[in-house]
Amino acid sequence: MSSPIYNRLPVLRAERGLSRKALADSVGVNFQTIGYLERGDYSPSLELALKLSEYFELPVEMIFSLKPFEPLSRIANQRDQ
Q: Which residues contact 53 (CB under 8 A, 6 or more apart)?
A: 59, 60, 63
* Residue 74 Cβ vs another protein, minimum distance, rounded to whole Å: 26
* Residue 35 Cβ vs another protein, minimum distance, rounded to whole Å: 5
Where do contacts with another protein occur on this chain (CB under 8 A)? 19-21, 28-33, 35-37, 39, 41-42, 44-45, 47-48
* Residue 21 Cβ vs another protein, minimum distance, rounded to whole Å: 5
Q: How far is Cα 43 from Cα 53, in angstroms, rounded to an integer?
A: 14
Q: Which is nearer to another protein, 55 or 79 (CB)?
A: 55
Q: Which residues contact 46 (CB under 8 A, 6 or more apart)?
A: none
